[in-house]
Chain A
Amino acid sequence: MTRTVPLIELEGVAKDYPGPPTVRALRDAQMTVGKGEYVSIVGRSGSGKSTLLNVVGLLDRPTCGRYSFAGVDTGSLSERRRTALRARAIGFVFQGFHLMPHRTVVENVGMGLIYQGASWRQRRRIAEEKLEAVGLGSRSTALPTMLSGGEMQRVAIARALACSPSLLLCDEPTGNLDSQTADGILQIVDDLVEAQLTVLMITHDPQVAARAHRSVVVRDGRLIHDQGRG
């Protein structure tokens, strides 16, 4: 395990959703994740895992507490700067893939680069590189509807990697896949971690969680277990 510079630091972070009744989805969360770490987030449905991911992924602001990303206090950032930081440094992989069915694979992968100001040629070049990296170099012109579930998730990973992020957030990436396909996806994630990418993986599956360097258990909004496996 590599723990040199902390990438993620949560100090007393809480997140409430206004009601009525008010739902306290996250309470007094403390967590530190270093660069190159692979952390799994486990817990039951409704325990607060996705809320944690949204906060860490700068998709949502915490109600209170302090969240620093790469040493930057994100609470002090404007909406515009948070968006820019998210686009540049964080990649997302979702259980439901979130691919646009009418756009080709290469267009899906290059989509995030539009918001980095990359031209069509640059987007295409980077997208093809990333597709090659996930083993889909030959399917760049296909539509997502022509792909299998595993291939779609690979496209989603390639899209997340297109902006060369510091952090990859995966929300149940293997939830819709059979075990063999899931293993292929997890192998890609392992390779990325090997290449010093920081990964936070939300999962229900203990086997998936076991592949991470450590697991954080979320229960009733609290991070009650933070266990390293070295």
Chain B
Amino acid sequence: MRLRYVCQDALVSSVSRPSKLFLTAFGAMLGVASLVAISGLTTTAGTQIIARFDSASSTYVSIENAGEPVNHGDPRLRWASGDGVARIEGVVRVALSARLAGITSVVAVPLDDPTVPEATPPAVLAATADLGEVLGLRLSDGRMFDRGHEERGDNVVVVGAQAAGQLGVDDLALQRVVFINDVAYDVVGIFDEAIDNSFLGAVIMPARTAQTHLGATSPDVLHVIVRPGSARLVAEQGPIALAPSGPTAFAASYTPDPTDLREQVGEDTRAMFVVVGFVSMLAGTVGIMNTMLLNVMERTGEIGLRRALGAKRAEIVVQFLTESAVVGVVSGAAGSAIGMVVIVALAESRSWAPVAEWWLMPVGFALGVASGLVAGAFPAWRAARIEPASSLRAA
């Protein structure tokens, strides 16, 4: 009960001098604020770095037949193969394509002019309708063929900008037809950008159309768009999903993620956080300790009086530890709040999303209190050692 009253008295004693309390807490407050701010900014910057890594990491996986089939019935890509792969975790979209063989001519105007040298026709691909999105085809004119075209087997094509230039169909307002092996196809779109520039030299038609007119039997590439970080998993799981009993019939390829580099950067920022935070807290704690020591020297008379009035040494310790704890509470609360404001302000100034761990505020607060208690321990011990007779005489 007595200790409770001693603590209450210490509390009143602390708050009865708010300006002194604030000044004492100021050093540790800055320490906690910098700890919280550095931690939060590290997380914010780390998130930003991860976002940059993610944007740079591979999100494209391609799966092809590993070779020619040895036996009849060996697993091969089929036009329905995308369904199984689409169910793998991390897969965003799939599409299939086949490079058509036996294409003898691709022209905009069928002319039989022996004076014109025979040009190599552009590559002709058969593809499912999702290929446009999977390959990131950007249409500069017209549009991509859709599932309706595919299901009906319409005679439509989209043409890469390079192929369009070669064929002279770069303006759909003037020319909307190309002839492939003497069969006319409507050009519904021209694309000028793809994840792989080799597609810009191709003519792409719906799979069913190719099956009907050009004898396309099966696809040779399964294109898969995955979420950042999932490429390796999809590359491993894709062949298994296609043929659980013979996944080696397929070869998957992707660009490896810079995972190691990302982890290294993460470790570096964490190490920086620990070191700078530790130094900040140490400086704040030493600041409180110095101020509390001065406080003890300044209050020698009061300590002597309290001892003369019956305070035990332990109660003097409790008195000063409680006052230090109050300083710590103020440091922790104000420092955490200031740190959060700094995180938001700096992130805002860089147009980053401020990110902070949920435990940052409570841990910042607890560290403030702990630093107050640690810093107060030695001054409290010194205070308890003061002899009442000498201190009253000195005061």
Contacts and interface: CB of A to CB of B under 8 A. Distances in A.
A57 interface: yes
Interface in A83-112: 83-84, 86-88, 92, 94, 96, 98, 100, 102-103, 107, 111-112
A86 B310 contact: yes
A100 B302 contact: yes
A22 B30 CA distance: 49
Contacts of B72: none
B389 A112 contact: no
Contact of A114 (B9, B304, B307, B387): B9
Nearest to A99: B305
Q: How large is the interface on A (under 10, 10 to 19, 20 to 34, 35 or more residues)?
A: 20 to 34
A214 B242 CA distance: 115
B5 A117 contact: yes
B329 to A, nearest CB: 19
A86 B395 CA distance: 20
B64 interface: no
Given A103-B12, A103-B16, A107-B12, A86 B312 contact: no
Nearest to A50: B393
A96 B5 contact: no
Interface string B301-324: 110111111111101000000000
Nearest to A59: B389
Given A96-B395, A120-B8, A59 B2 contact: no
A86 B308 contact: yes
Nearest to B315: A115
B1 A117 contact: yes
Contacts of A103: 12-13, 16
B389 to A, nearest CB: 4
B302 A114 contact: no
Contacts of A57: 308
A114 B301 contact: no
Interface string A106-146: 01000110111111100000000000000000000000000
Contacts of A50: 393
Contact of B392 (A59, A88, A117, A119): A59
Interface in B367-395: 387-389, 392-393, 395
A59 B308 contact: yes
B306 A111 contact: yes
Given A102-B17, A114-B9, A88 B310 contact: yes
Contacts of B393: 50
A80 interface: yes
A133 B120 CA distance: 119
Interface residues of B, number: 29
Nearest to A107: B12
B315 to A, nearest CB: 7
Interface string A146-180: 00000000000001000100000000000000000
Interface in B13-68: 13, 16-17
Contact of A60 (B8, B310, B389): B389
Interface string A67-83: 00000000000011001
Contact of B5 (A79, A92, A120): A120
Nearest to B20: A102
A77 to B, nearest CB: 14
A117 B387 CA distance: 22
Given A80-B312, A103-B12, A118 B5 contact: yes
A54 interface: yes
A86 to B, nearest CB: 6
A88 B310 CA distance: 8
B342 interface: no
A115 B2 CA distance: 6
Contact of B309 (A79, A111, A120): A111
Nearest to A143: B16
Contact of A116 (B17, B310, B312, B387): B310
Nearest to A110: B9
A36 B252 CA distance: 106
A159 B8 CA distance: 19
A112 B308 CA distance: 9
Interface of B: 1-2, 5-6, 8-9, 12-13, 16-17, 301-302, 304-313, 315, 387-389, 392-393, 395
* Chain A to chain B: the 7 pairs with minimum beta-carbon distance, closest first: A87-B310, A115-B310, A112-B309, A59-B389, A54-B389, A102-B16, A60-B389
Given A100-B302, A114-B2, 15 more contacts: A59-B307, A60-B389, A86-B308, A87-B309, A92-B305, A94-B392, A98-B302, A98-B395, A107-B12, A111-B309, A114-B311, A115-B311, A115-B312, A117-B2, A118-B5
23 contacts: A54-B389, A57-B308, A59-B308, A59-B387, A59-B388, A79-B313, A83-B310, A83-B311, A92-B309, A96-B395, A98-B301, A98-B302, A98-B392, A103-B12, A103-B13, A111-B309, A112-B309, A114-B2, A115-B309, A115-B312, A119-B5, A159-B309, A163-B309
